[in-house]
Amino acid sequence: MSHQLLIVLDFGGQYNQLIARRVRECGVYCEVKPYTTPLEELQKMQPIGLIFTGGPNSVYLEDAPHVDPAIFQMGVPVLGICYGCQLMAQALGGRVTAAQDDTAREYGKTETFFDTSCKLFKNLPERGVSWMSHGDYMEKVPDGFALMAHSKACPNVAIADETRGFYGVQYHPEVNHTENGVAMIRNFLYEVCGAAGDWTMGDYKRTAIAAIREKVGGGRVLLALSGGVDSSVCAALLAEAVGEQLTCVFVDHGLMRKDEGDEVEAAFQPWAMNFVRVDAEARFLQKLSGVTEPERKRKIIGEEFIRVFEEEAKKIGAVDFLAQGTIYPDVIESGAGDAAVIKSHHNVGGLPEYVDFKEIIEPLRLLFKDEVRQLGRELGLPEYLVSRQPFPGPGLAIRVIGDLTKEKLDTLRDADAIYRQEIVDAGLGQEIGQYFAVLTNSRSVGVMGDGRSYDYTLALRAVTTTDFMTADWARLPYEVLDRISTRVVNEVPGINRIVYDVTSKPPATIEWE
Ligand code: XMP
């Protein structure tokens, strides 16, 4: 696949993937590389530009991440963001120190004044809000650099050496809080790096299909289809490329949301391929019977899934390729260390040892989630599948708190369907990152008609988030909550009380188990 490439050099900041997504949204393909990547490797990739990300360190500390200074001789434009800006300033002869007083240390939304003769700010307003998060200060900017933006507290919010194509901003253009931030990134790409804008999902689809055909030849491909966005788009892409050489095994574990299994099956009707739906509800429920501990549930479901898939794969016989819906965020090697594991997220993956195949293919390896969705649309998958919010591999098993029964699962399915429908009808579906109902194992007394009830409490969860690593509880309008509450207690037997979860992550997690 030939398209221009920009490299995002990762210094461990929290918005690094967001920067990469922004670049791609602007029609330029980019990859995230750790700052430790050898210079020769970067050179070989022939990028049209580099973006240095933010990071949690201070450049003047001895063990702070650095780059080979020869990177500035590559003849490639550089945009340094926050830490990246300070790193570039220091490497090119400037001086960065800890801000001495609060005036030079800036956090949050800051009014900023831009020099619009600078290519980075071309055709943009002279003032705007930018999102700052830095405790260090560029005491001296390097020779050859001019000051291109300032705030009340800071004379050098943006610096540039336009002859060499080096730009640095102390704020974060990639976050939504920065007004026109994406336009600034776009200016860097198109005005400074000379981008052609050759990264579109239509092109990607065509080249990916051709590449799959070439690789697979007359071979047979097997895919475990979970019904999630990634495996579904992977299935559609493969079906488009190799048709009946593809077999998709869809293990219906009975832990999906209302009607979801049928929806998945219906979505793949248009393609001539082998679609195998395995009804495994009974065996999953049997294995899970009496289990209350969340990590045990995850483990049992993960193992059972592999077992079912393995049995089906045996029936199919040897295949040449095992396909997986791995996406780019799964393969990015971060510039910083790994975070602690809070939950053992079970994904449909990790299957290879159990199945007879020659090679793995991962046709979505280069794509971010939003690009996977776009590709799904290009392929003609229905919107309900493509815009589906994240759904955990263990499904409703971790949304029914405590022990599981089919009855409880059905109750939750009905309540959850009402909740989701009301959110969509209220026009809130797009702005909330994830929303779902949880059947708690807490029962309480209620009064229904003339009688006493002693039924379950349903918890509603809705969060806004960009990366699911942190999240805030969504401020749902009271009228919407009221409608959901009224409908659920009236329409779903077994539930007589509704509560709304108002905790953010951290300290809570998004799911309850
Ligand atoms: P938490 O609950 O850890 O969830 O804040 C973060 C995101 O991950 C999803 N999640 C899972 N996904 N298997 C998955 O494939 C799991 O076991 C699992 N647990 C949580 C969760 O829905 C949210 O989007």
Q: Which residue, by CA, sits nearest to atom 17 of ligand 1?
A: 345
Q: Which two tokens stand for residue 141?
A: 């900017």
* CB distance 180 to 123 below 8 Å: no
pLDDT at 103: 53
pTM given for the model: 0.85
Counting from 1 in the atom list of ligand 1, the atom nearest the Cα of 298 is 17
List the one residue out of 284, 232, 230, 295 whose CA is nearest residue 255.
284
The enclosing H or E element of 287 equals helix 281-288
* Residues, the chain: 513
Decide whether any atom of ligand 1 lies within 6 Å of the 346 Cβ.
Answer: yes
**Can you tell me the distance from the alpha carbon of 213 to that of 75, in angstroms, rounded to the nearest whole number?**
38
Question: How would you classify residue 197: left for phi > 0, otherwise alpha for psi between -120 and 50, otherwise beta?
Answer: left
Cis status, amide bond into 506, omega within 30 of 0: yes
The enclosing H or E element of 315 equals helix 294-316
Q: Where are the alpha helices (DSSP H) in 317-447?
A: 328-331, 369-378, 383-386, 406-425
Match 């095992």 to its residue by tokens: 322
Three-class DSSP labels, 221-252: EEEEECCCHHHHHHHHHHHHHHHHHEEEEEEE
Q: Which two tokens stand for residue 354?
A: 């159990």
* Residue 153, amino acid: A
pLDDT digits (tens, 9 = 90+) for 327-348: 988 887 766 554 444 556 544 4
Q: Which two tokens stand for residue 441?
A: 């194992």
Match 């008609």 to its residue by tokens: 449
Pocket perturbation via mutation, ligand 1, pick of 229, 298, 301, 510 by most ligand atoms within 8 A of CB? 510
Q: Is 82 a catalytic residue?
A: yes
Decide whether any atom of ligand 1 lies within 6 Å of the 465 Cβ.
Answer: no
pLDDT at 336: 58
DSSP string, 74-88: SS--EEEETHHHHHH
Q: Is 134 a catalytic residue?
A: no
**Can you tell me the distance from the alpha carbon of 67 to that of 10, in angstroms, rounded to the nearest whole number?**
11
**Can you tell me the distance from the alpha carbon of 475 to that of 412, in angstroms, rounded to the nearest whole number?**
23
Pocket perturbation via mutation, ligand 1, pick of 229, 300, 438, 468 by most ligand atoms within 8 A of CB? 468
pLDDT at 346: 42
pLDDT at 101: 63
Q: Which residue, by CA, sits nearest to atom 9 of ligand 1?
A: 392
Decide whether any atom of ligand 1 lies within 6 Å of the 509 Cβ.
Answer: yes
Each residue's pLDDT tens digit in the chain (513 positions)?
A: 579 999 999 999 888 889 999 999 999 999 999 999 999 999 999 999 999 999 988 999 988 999 999 999 999 999 999 999 999 999 999 999 887 665 556 778 899 999 999 999 999 999 999 998 777 889 999 999 999 999 998 899 999 999 999 999 999 999 988 999 999 999 999 999 999 999 999 989 999 999 999 999 999 999 999 999 999 999 999 999 999 999 999 999 999 999 999 999 999 999 999 999 999 999 999 999 999 999 999 999 999 998 999 899 989 988 999 999 999 888 877 665 544 445 565 444 455 566 778 899 999 999 999 999 999 999 999 999 999 999 999 999 999 999 999 999 999 999 999 999 999 999 999 889 899 999 999 999 999 888 899 999 999 999 998 778 889 999 999 999 999 999 999 999 999 999 999 999 999 999 999
**Can you tell me the distance from the alpha carbon of 23 to that of 113, in angstroms, rounded to the nearest whole number?**
24
Counting from 1 in the atom list of ligand 1, the atom nearest the Cα of 390 is 24
- Cα of 265 to ligand 1 centre, how many Å? 24
Q: Is 353 a catalytic residue?
A: no
